[in-house]
Amino acid sequence: MSRSPHLALIMDGNGRWARQRGLPRTAGHREGAKAVREVVESAVRLGVGTLTLYAFSCDNWQRPRTEVRALMALLRRFLSEETPTCLRHGVRVQVIGHRHRLSPAVRKAIEACEEATGSGRAMTLRLAIDYSSRAQLAKAARSVVHGFPEELERALRLTNHPLDSAPPVDLLVRTSGEKRLSDFLLWECAYAELHFVDTLWPDFGEADLEEALRELGRRRRRFGRVEDAPASRDEPARVG
């Protein structure tokens, strides 16, 4: 049995996009949010099963306060304004990462969007907010010590969702020419194909997504086996 691919995106380059135009960094993030809207709709059209976006890392709290505030406002707006679109396209939204440091308004927007879109089956959109893969893995390790098997299970899936069953990442894309994982989905990317593109995130669109999926289709994925071994049940369908 094959499944639709899990695509993970590190959306990098908003700041450089803005600097190139003499604009404040926050203008780059605003434009980045527009690219997110386009990419989510394209991903549904192109048959992506799960799309995980790195929206805000735990380390991003160290950015200037105005930038953090602008990012949080964009996330909150995205969650409330995109809920109807997600519903229309059958997109289920889930947020992974810590929640306790987010403002009540952002938490409320997350809960409302997750609740409203919970029955979407066309694609799962996971937004990583206040997210750190190492923190999740450390949490998993701690739950072993304390003997909480269910919590361990949840932590290894790197999510707060008891019902979430995100498959492993098939393709990880990072924009802007940087080639790092930056503490993103380290466990889930164990066998992910990596694709680095020079495009700055605000310029990333449907054509780039199609090219990334074509690239996934060209990769020879062996999962540690030899070429002619039977395919795993968990292997994704080819797209694009």
Task: Give the C-alpha distances (Å, rounded to integers) separating 48 from 37, 95, 113, 123, 213.
Answer: 15, 18, 20, 7, 9
In whole angstroms, what is the distance from residue 126 CA to residue 108 CA? 16
In whole angstroms, what is the distance from residue 190 CA to residue 49 CA? 18
Q: Which residue among the candidates 59, 60, 164, 228 is catalytic per the annotation?
A: 60
Query: By CB under 6 A, how many residues form the interface with ligand FPP?
Result: 20
Furthest C-alpha separation in the chain: 54
Looking at the Cβ atoms of 127 and 213, the one nearer to ligand FPP is 127
Question: Minimum CB separation from ligand FPP for residue 211, in Å?
Answer: 19
Nearest residue to ligand FPP, by Cβ distance, number only: 15
Question: Minimum CB separation from ligand FPP for residue 162, in Å?
Answer: 23
Answer for the pair 57, 182: CB distance below 8 angstroms, yes or no.
yes
Catalytic residue status for 60: yes
In whole angstroms, what is the distance from residue 191 CA to residue 151 CA? 24
- For residues 113 to 132, the per-residue mask of contacts with ligand FPP, x marking binding by CB under 6 A and - elsewhere, is --------------x-----
Quote the tokens at residue 115: 């609740």
Note whether 12 binds ligand FPP by CB under 6 A: yes
- Kindly indicate which of the ranges 32-40, 87-95, 131-139, 215-223 contains the residues binding ligand FPP, using the contact rule CB under 6 A: 32-40
In whole angstroms, what is the distance from residue 183 CA to residue 76 CA? 23
User: Rule CB under 6 A: which residues touch ligand FPP?
Assistant: 11-16, 29, 32-33, 36, 53, 55, 60, 71, 74-75, 78, 127, 176, 201
**Which residues are marked as active site?**
12, 60
